[in-house]
Homo-oligomer: A and B are copies of this chain.
Amino acid sequence: MLDRHSTAASKLTEIVSAIAEQRSTPAKEIEAARRRIAESDGEVGAFLRLAPDESLQAAAASDGPLAGITIGVKDIYDTRDMATEHGSQIYRGHRPVADASLVSMARLAGAAILGKTTTTEFASLDPTPTRNPRNLAHTPGGSSSGSAAAVAAGMVPLAFGSQTGGSVIRPASFCGVAGFKPSFRLFPSVGMKTFSFTLDTAGLFAATAEDLALAARLITGRDFGAGRRADGRGLRVGFYKSAVDDEVEADMQAAVAEAATLLERSGATTVTVEEPASLTAARSCHATIQSFEAVMALSDEFRRHRQRLGADLGAILDHGATIEPAEYDEARRTARIGRKAASALFETVDVLIAPSALGPAPRGLASTGDALMNKLWTLTGNPVVNVPGLASSVGLPLGVSVIARFGRDALALDVASLLQAMIAAPENAGS
């Protein structure tokens, strides 16, 4: 049996209730978030800058459904009241004219955009100085490093990230928070700095899957379900066995096995789902698509400022520039076949479970870890939710991914919510 990790995360659903029932006010919540940041961000380093007072005063006066919810926004999202630097020297001090779509939509729902969080350079690989709040000697993961860390440390109940490879689900796993990568383009990515236009996906971090579902609904106006499933009866869960599972560490393998056991205990049936060859092929073409598109997306930055780019990003772009259009086109065809194969998986199961990362957060800040467990689902566009709660013997979080069919985001959140509750239930903790 695996350990559980403790959580400092602030629950969005509880804050929304407290404000609805007048046990709190938006102003109090905003002030509390600022205080938490002042107290703990010195050692974590999740935030780059905080919103000006006038923005927060305006948010405090809101009576929208997300009033009082403070949000940390990855610094590749445009914000009209704060600099947006994309983790790059090239954009030092850059001030956009308008908010990114998701930022604007959150403000419209009453949320307070509290500040900008760290990102690896252009949401790629070069690490930030951000530390993992669960253990400061470890990376929080990336590229949405600051957003995952800010939620894990309880500074804010909600944060925005983005995923091109594994930039939401991996840091959520490392930091022990719930993370949501929606179906491709279900959330608008307008006003997010582009890295790869067929892969970049906006995503969210919160304490729980239930929090993610509520936030997603209130920002977009869509029904995202979640939290209404009392048990797992009737649910068919596939235990996904990929061709790269040999790379997964033993404690992470144990975490997914425990998730399967807990879902069975809740009444679900589980079966093993072997990865078809078409999805193994799709995973291995991710890098070609990503790098070829990044060379176009960052054309001006790459061609004029090569020497100002980090080592990892520079290497990706140098390689991308050698890829021929025919090789990219072939990779896109492989990806299309993979998308169909991914849909076919869900003819026999409702959701899949799989590791959210190869293991717990690696020690040190020199690398943000590996996206191998995530990039297939980014490529296919399926919704993925990271479920936190399980931990290694030294207390480092081990996240489990719940993956659903394209467009069935509500189901992924719903099952994730059930699994998170099963993990947290005292009667399951010591068994």
**A→B interface (CB under 8 Å):** 80, 90-91, 94, 97-99, 101, 103-105, 108, 185, 188-191, 194, 197-198, 220-223, 293, 296-297, 299-301, 303, 324-325, 329, 407
Contacts and interface: CB of A to CB of B under 8 A. Distances in A.
A294 B324 CA distance: 34
A108 B302 CA distance: 11
A188 B194 CA distance: 10
Nearest to A302: B104
Given A190-B197, A190-B297, A221-B324, 18 more contacts: A90-B97, A90-B98, A94-B97, A98-B301, A99-B300, A101-B296, A101-B297, A101-B299, A104-B300, A105-B296, A105-B299, A108-B299, A188-B293, A188-B297, A189-B197, A190-B194, A222-B325, A329-B407
A198 B220 contact: no
Contact of A296 (B98, B190, B197, B329): B190
Contacts of A103: 300
Given A297-B190, A325-B220, A91 B97 contact: yes
A270 B71 CA distance: 60
Chain copies in the assembly?
2
A198 B185 contact: yes
Contacts of A329: 407
Nearest to A78: B300
A419 to B, nearest CB: 26
A136 to B, nearest CB: 34
Nearest to A99: B300
Closest 3 CB pairs of A and B: A104-B299, A98-B300, A104-B300
A54 B204 CA distance: 44
Contacts of A80: 300
A214 to B, nearest CB: 16
Contacts of A324: 221
Nearest to A193: B190
A194 B191 CA distance: 9
Nearest to A189: B197
Given A97-B91, A190-B197, A197-B189, A221 B299 contact: no
A221 B301 CA distance: 19
A99 B300 CA distance: 6
A374 B158 CA distance: 42
A280 to B, nearest CB: 25
A428 to B, nearest CB: 36
A381 B264 CA distance: 45
A94 to B, nearest CB: 5
Contacts of A190: 194, 197, 296-297
Contacts of A105: 296, 299
